[in-house]
Amino acid sequence: MERVYHVTCHECTFEGVFEDHRTALDEWNEHERDDDHRVSVLEIDRPSPRNPV
Ligand SMILES: [Zn+2]
């Protein structure tokens, strides 16, 4: 299983799924800072990777 991070804004339609934790946190912090919105991050265990190596 592969862990991904689902970033969701509670105040607009901003959302994204990131495989890298730091990228998810960057997007989160950036959106909160730029738009002053409340953003949450969920860790999701994705059952099957989209691009198997
Ligand atoms: Zn927002």
Query: pLDDT tens digit string along 14-52?
Result: 999 999 999 999 999 999 999 999 999 999 997 766 665
* Residue 21 within a domain: yes
**Confidence (pLDDT) at 38:** 97
Ligand 1 center–CA 52 separation, angstroms: 32
Tell me whether residue 51 is in a domain: no
- 7 domain residue, yes or no: yes
In a domain, 19, yes or no: yes
Return the pLDDT at 47.
73
Predicted local confidence at residue 49, as pLDDT: 60
Evaluate whether residue 52 is within a structural domain. no
52: its two tokens: 């198997």
Alpha helices in 1-53 (DSSP H): 21-35
CA of 15 to the centre of ligand 1 (A): 8
What is the domain range of residue 24? 2-46
Q: What are phi and psi of 30, to 5 degrees?
A: -65, -45
- In the chain, the number of structural domains is 1
Q: Is residue 29 part of a domain?
A: yes
Q: How high is the pLDDT of residue 51?
A: 62
pLDDT number for residue 46: 78
